[in-house]
Amino acid sequence: MSTPRLLGLPRDVWPRILAPLMMGMILLGAWEFAVRHFGVPAYVVPGPVLIGQALVADWPSLAAALVVTLRITVLALLVAVTAGVLLALLFSQSKWVEMTFLPYAVILQVTPIVAIAPLIIIWVDNVQAALLICAWIVAFFPIVSNTTIGLNSTDRNLVDLFRLYGATRWQTLLQLRLPAAMPFFLAGLRISGGLSLIGAIVAEFVAGAGGASSGLAYRILEAGYQLQIPRMFAALALISLAGVVIFLSLSLLSHLLLRRWHESAMSPDR
Amino acid sequence: MADPSPTETNGTPGLAGAAAPRAPAAVRLRGVSKRYANGTLAVEGLDLDIAAGSFVSLLGPSGCGKSTLLRMVAGLAPLSTGRIEWPGATPRLGFVFQEPTLMPWQTALDNVALPLKLAGMAQAERQRRAREMLALVGLSEAASSYPRELSGGMRMRVSIARALVTQPDLLLLDEPFAALDEITRFRLNNDLLRLWEAHRFTAVFVTHSVFESVYLSERVVVMAGGPGRLHADLPIPAPPRRDEAFRTSPSYAGLCRAVSEALAGAMAA
């Protein structure tokens, strides 16, 4: 394994970083040029430069809001992982439990969060807790559904092998079913990471909670009311950036856990 | 039930009963039937004795119930009727599946050590034994490799090492080499024979290859399908040392012909 390296990364990784980066630069340049050339007012579409300036100028309040939103997102994801995996384990132990509860998990998933968020915010006194519940509802389903599929698709011969050697239910779960479900769980986790951010943002929009502990969605609302469109875009850029960072870190986690054994994490040139 | 007759066979042509094994039986099947939940009768009223230390092949067309029979002997599938007797002490079993059936997230060494781990053996001891087993199948170098880094033949060797690591008295093999290319299969046939000669476990080998069954075993039991039952029971009086010379000898060709004819009879039955 000696692929040529450049600045610490395998050489063939660089195009995958540089190509989209170049594309982004070109698009941003075209945007800035178009805004200036056609004289589009900043309160309709601000150029990237103006947005960048707003990002720097409003950094203290935007950064604080980012932390608030990320906190809800990460907490929701943690709760979704814990509850999702536990529920999937329950499902895998008994077909009856799965048949009984899976439809409700589906209902929870297909009901638009925007529609139930107001109710949750009315019912739950604590705004932070309400936001957490909303984000959790959105993030929870991919974990349950993927992990359940993973737990149920364990190689039947391996299950037989464990039985042949007198493995306990517990040994079979820990040493066979859970590791076998890992790739499925991680695929669900990558989806849920993005969804929990979306859930947190949507809930913040609905709650419209102001004050010191308000997140990025509230900054967007606030900037909209005040017609501070560059600041609105700056907050939007931060949300996208946060989403990308979440996705990349979960992808990295998945790669590190699976690279030695799973097809999905194999380098294409072997 | 005291039944001195070694085996019962139906319609055995030619070599019937010529050299039925007289060694004590490792396992006796009496009136074993298997009906699946969907009503299909997979195996019907089957009687079979397997002599301790012998190498027996179960040969038959696809779907004749030979794999089901093996799974019943292993205790992986319940019997519908009949019983399986263990005249000696209940043996330690080893099972080799059609696929290597390795855990992809564990190294070759950890895969081999699995049965010992499940039995609660301490890590140092089970790793030592697993290393020994890997050496016996010629895979010392691959101990820390993951299954996907190994070739099909190497994976099957790991699977065999895992089945032998508990030093089983009875090794059950369910068409283990069916998916391998012929060259690899020949090599693994020889490896398996060397291991059997060294350890003298009882081997029950399910296959649909006439040539493989004659090359490996002391006795070929031919099964007929729909529902699965015994059709012929042929001893294979071959030299104790089976190698490439045996594979090309006239006696091998003659035995293959006899077994082929029995198989053809089973498929017509």
C-alpha–C-alpha distance, residues B265 and B260, integer Å: 8
Confidence of residue A259 (pLDDT cuts 50, 70, 90): confident
User: What pLDDT, on a 0 to 100 scale, did the predictor assign at position B121?
Assistant: 94
Q: How many CA atoms lie within 13 A of B1 on its CB side?
A: 11
Q: How far is A181 from chain B (nearest CA, A)?
A: 11
- For residue A94, give both structure tokens: 């008994």
Nearest Cα residue to B34 out of B88, B2, B77, B92? B77
User: What pLDDT, on a 0 to 100 scale, did the predictor assign at position A143?
Assistant: 95
C-alpha–C-alpha distance, residues A46 and A230, integer Å: 6
Which of A167, A171, A179 lies nearest to residue B105, judging by beta carbons? A179
C-alpha–C-alpha distance, residues A116 and B88, integer Å: 68
Does residue A211 lie within any of the structural domains? yes
A166·B76 Cβ contact <8 A: no
Q: What is the mean pLDDT of chain A?
A: 89
3-state secondary structure of A168: coil
C-alpha–C-alpha distance, residues B235 and B21, integer Å: 8
- For residue A258, give both structure tokens: 């699976």
Query: Is residue B96 a contact partner of residue B171, using CB atoms and an 8 Å limit?
Result: yes
Query: Is residue A192 a contact partner of residue A185, using CB atoms and an 8 Å limit?
Result: no
Q: Could you give the maximum distance between any two Cα atoms of chain B, in Å? A: 55
Interval A11-50: pLDDT, tens = 888 888 899 999 999 999 999 999 999 999 988 899 999 9
Question: In 10 A of CB A233, how many CB atoms?
Answer: 22
Interval A141-178: pLDDT, tens = 999 999 999 999 899 999 999 999 999 999 999 999 99
Does residue A105 lie within any of the structural domains? yes
A165·B119 Cβ contact <8 A: yes
The mean pLDDT of A239-248, rounded to a whole number, is 94
Which residue do the tokens 């737990």 mark? A151
Interval B215-248: pLDDT, tens = 999 999 999 988 888 999 999 987 777 888 888 8
Which of A158, A160, A266 lies nearest to residue B103, judging by beta carbons? A158
Residues of A in contact with B115 (CB under 8 A): 165
Count of CB pairs separated by less than 8 Å, A with B? 51
B118·A262 Cβ contact <8 A: no
User: What pLDDT, on a 0 to 100 scale, did the predictor assign at position B56?
Assistant: 96
- For residue A144, give both structure tokens: 């349950």
Confidence of residue A109 (pLDDT cuts 50, 70, 90): confident
Question: In 10 A of CB B2, how many CB atoms?
Answer: 3
Work out the end-to-end distance of chain A between its first and last CA atoms, rounded to an integer number of angstroms: 9
> Which residue in chain A is spatially nearest to B102 when comparing CA positions?
A158
Residues of A in contact with B114 (CB under 8 A): 161, 165, 175
Judged by a CB distance cut-off of 8 A, whether residue B99 touches chain A is yes
- Rg of the Cα atoms in chain A: 23
Interval B96-114: pLDDT, tens = 999 999 999 999 999 999 9
User: What pLDDT, on a 0 to 100 scale, did the predictor assign at position B14?
Assistant: 38
Helix intervals (H) in chain B: 66-73, 108-118, 123-136, 152-164, 182-199, 210-216, 244-247, 250-268
> Which amino acid type is present at position A3?
T
Residues of A in contact with B103 (CB under 8 A): 158, 176, 179-180
Nearest Cα residue to A134 out of A235, A212, A217, A211? A217
The mean pLDDT of A63-80, rounded to a whole number, is 94
Strand (E) or helix (H) holding B231: strand B229-235
Is the pLDDT at A270 greater than 50? The verdict is no
Does residue A163 lie within any of the structural domains? yes
Interval B186-199: pLDDT, tens = 989 999 999 999 98
Q: How far is B19 from chain A (nearest CA, A)?
A: 33
Q: How many CA atoms lie within 13 A of A165 on its CB side?
A: 28
Class of domain B1-91+172-187+202-269: alpha beta
User: What pLDDT, on a 0 to 100 scale, did the predictor assign at position B247?
Assistant: 87
Show Cβ contacts of residue B77 under 8 Å, excluding neighbours closer than 6 positions. Answer: B34, B68, B71
- The residue ranges of every structural domain in chain B are 1-91+172-187+202-269, 99-168
Is the pLDDT at B13 greater than 50? The verdict is no
Confidence of residue B6 (pLDDT cuts 50, 70, 90): very low
Residues of A in contact with B95 (CB under 8 A): 160-161, 164
- Pairing label, strands B41-51, B25-35: antiparallel
ipTM field: 0.85
What domain range is A77 assigned to?
48-260
Residues of B in contact with A175 (CB under 8 A): 114, 117-118
- Rg of the Cα atoms in chain B: 18
Query: Is residue B222 a contact partner of residue B266, using CB atoms and an 8 Å limit?
Result: yes
Q: How far is B254 from chain A (nearest CA, A)?
A: 37
Strand (E) or helix (H) holding A68: helix A59-93
Angle at B97 between CA B93 and CA B100, to 5 degrees: 120
> Which residue in chain B is spatially nearest to A172 when comparing CA positions?
B118
B105·A182 Cβ contact <8 A: yes
The answer for A126, left when phi > 0, alpha when psi is -120 to 50, beta otherwise, is beta
B118·A166 Cβ contact <8 A: yes
Work out how many domains chain A is built from and give that number.
1
Nearest Cα residue to B133 out of B148, B115, B152? B115
> Which residue in chain B is spatially nearest to A156 when comparing CA positions?
B101
C-alpha–C-alpha distance, residues B151 and B226, integer Å: 36
C-alpha–C-alpha distance, residues B64 and B229, integer Å: 8
Find which of A168, A185, A261 to mutate to test the B interface (most B CBs within 10 Å of its CB). Answer: A261
C-alpha–C-alpha distance, residues A86 and A84, integer Å: 6
Is the pLDDT at B2 greater than 60? The verdict is no
User: What pLDDT, on a 0 to 100 scale, did the predictor assign at position A206?
Assistant: 85
Q: How far is B2 from chain A (nearest CA, A)?
A: 29
B76·A160 Cβ contact <8 A: yes
**Phi, psi (degrees; rounded to nearest 5) at B96:** -115, 120
pTM here is: 0.83
Find which of A156, A163, A165, A186 to mutate to test the B interface (most B CBs within 10 Å of its CB). Answer: A165
Contacts with B, A 144-183, CB within 8 Å: 155, 157-158, 160-167, 171, 175-176, 179-180, 182
Interhelix angle B152-164/B108-118, rounded to 10 degrees, is: 20
Interval A204-222: pLDDT, tens = 888 876 555 688 999 999 8
A250: domain CATH number?
1.10.3720.10
Q: What is the DSSP letter of B241?
A: S
Q: How far is A141 from chain B (nearest CA, A)?
A: 26
- For residue A87, give both structure tokens: 């529920």
Total residues found in chain A within this entry: 270
User: What pLDDT, on a 0 to 100 scale, did the predictor assign at position B268?
Assistant: 86
Residues of B in contact with A162 (CB under 8 A): 118
Signed CA dihedral, B216, B222, B225, B228: sign only: negative
Is the pLDDT at A108 greater than 50? The verdict is yes
Q: How far is B42 from chain A (nearest CA, A)?
A: 19
Is the pLDDT at A134 greater than 80? The verdict is yes
Q: B141-150 as b/e, with b when 16 or more CB fall inside 10 Å? A: ebbebbbeeb
The mean pLDDT of A131-150, rounded to a whole number, is 93
